[in-house]
């Protein structure tokens, strides 16, 4: 199942900079691992914002929820999920 996932990150000011650096490094490692597994199939930065638009390919709504809720930056994210279906005019 394909999903378009929009993630906006808002890390509160005043958090320990070392903690934030570790979170960001852990987030990057997790995102790259999910990409290697073929679950996080596209990842685009939104210019001018601390945000991304991503495409996930997972077996179920529950699997997507489990993945998103275990991302290190999840507590600081606003996430919007849109399930996707093949368009009848798509050639690929």
> Which domains does the chain carry?
2-84 (3.30.70.1060)
pLDDT surpassing 90 at residue 92? no
Each residue's pLDDT tens digit, 2-39: 999 999 999 999 999 999 999 999 999 999 999 999 99
First to last CA, the chain: 16
Strands of 2-9's sheet in order across:
40-45, 51-57, 2-9, 77-84
pTM of the model: 0.92
């Amino acid at each position: 199942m394909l999903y378009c996932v929009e993630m906006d990150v808002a890390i509160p000011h005043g958090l320990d900079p070392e903690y934030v650096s570790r979170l960001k490094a852990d987030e990057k490692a997790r995102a790259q691992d999910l990409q290697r597994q073929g679950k996080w199939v596209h990842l685009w930065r939104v210019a001018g914002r601390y945000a991304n638009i991503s495409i996930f390919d997972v077996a179920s709504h529950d699997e997507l929820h489990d993945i998103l809720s275990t991302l290190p930056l999840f507590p600081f994210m606003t996430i919007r999920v849109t399930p996707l279906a093949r368009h009848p005019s798509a050639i690929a």
